[in-house]
Amino acid sequence: MIKRSYYKQKIWLGTFGMGGYVTSDPNNDDERDVEAIRYAIKKGIFQIDTSESYAGGKTEMLIGEAIKCFSRNRLVIATKVREYNLFYDAVIESCKKSLERLQTSYIDVYYIHKQNPEIPINETIAALNKLLDMGLIKNIGLSNVGIDTIKKYSQLLKKPVYAVQNQYNLVCRESQRKKIIDYCRKNRIRFIAWRPIRLLYPGCPDPFYPEGTYKLLDEVAKKYNKTNVQIAVKWLLQQDCVEIVFKSSNKDHIDEILDTENFEILYEDWKRLDEEFPVQLEVGCTANNYFEVT
């Protein structure tokens, strides 16, 4: 029996790195990844996030394997179509291939991974609407987008945009600064923060910020008797409408994230992290700058 709580509905299991990163890794411990996905589901994280691009499609296959022993209708599976597959026929084909790899008859949330200014948005939207009609996808998400792009999709899609997935953590503040989160909140679109744990940016001393990296984080973590990772994640989860997608193949790490349900950061401490965290940039170190389509 999968136990769900409202809190857990704000948590998605990410899978970037399972089976490999950009291409399939022959040395990867696939069994461990499959077990981690199953463990997360048993613990109530029933929302799984992936992409056709992860490990060259292998990650979707691992998810397909992992979810076999659960009722499909209790799970929420999100995957993404890459930015160079956004022509009409390519979107349809990508979706069908993802379905095959995931061994499922529908995708709950189908994301556009990134915008591609070379491909007319109407063409992509026509394909998404067709996939909705065919029942192959249930909802549409947008990833790495700004407000203007969300508005354009919203005007032409048959269904309201279900979710926006952008990079957002204590360091990467673009979605906060550009009011993308506020826009989602007002328009009842889930805002899903990718990379909630790893603080990557040029010159970053350690992406997992062990004690001694950021004094403020150490101080707050000590006050609540929690780890730095838990405080960083909780700072996100205490924000209205903000959800997280985190990756872990480690059961203890999954438990550590779930344990954030058991405490609250006082507003004064939350605000200090929000305003005084010493490194605040737009997007960290990835090339996922938001594209606004014209």
Ligand X SMILES: NC(=O)c1ccc[n+]([C@@H]2O[C@H](COP(=O)([O-])OP(=O)(O)OC[C@H]3O[C@@H](n4cnc5c(N)ncnc54)[C@H](OP(=O)(O)O)[C@@H]3O)[C@@H](O)[C@H]2O)c1
- Minimum distance, C-beta of residue 200 to ligand X, in the bound complex (Å): 8
- Minimum distance, C-beta of residue 261 to ligand X, in the bound complex (Å): 14
Nearer to ligand X, 40 or 147 (CB): 40
**Residue 200 burial (CB < 10 Å; 0-12/13-18/19+)?**
middle
Nearer to ligand X, 1 or 27 (CB): 27
Q: How far apart are CA 193 and CA 243, in angstroms?
A: 6
- Minimum distance, C-beta of residue 15 to ligand X, in the bound complex (Å): 5
Closest CB to ligand X: residue number: 14
- Minimum distance, C-beta of residue 251 to ligand X, in the bound complex (Å): 9
- Minimum distance, C-beta of residue 245 to ligand X, in the bound complex (Å): 4
Nearer to ligand X, 97 or 253 (CB): 253
Nearer to ligand X, 130 or 251 (CB): 251
Half-sphere exposure of 92 (CA within 13 A, CB side): 11
Q: How far apart are CA 293 and CA 254, in angstroms?
A: 36
Half-sphere exposure of 230 (CA within 13 A, CB side): 23
Nearer to ligand X, 94 or 165 (CB): 165
Residues at the site binding ligand X, with contacts judged by CB under 6 A: 14-17, 49, 113, 143-144, 165, 194-198, 208, 229, 245-250, 253, 256-257, 288
Cβ atoms of 180 and 146 within 8 Å: the answer is yes
Number of Cβ atoms within 10 Å of the Cβ of 59? 29
Catalytic residues: 54
Residues whose CB falls within 8 Å of the CB of residue 253, separated by 6 or more in sequence, listed in order: none
Cβ atoms of 218 and 228 within 8 Å: the answer is yes
Angle at 167 between CA 223 and CA 266, to 5 degrees: 25
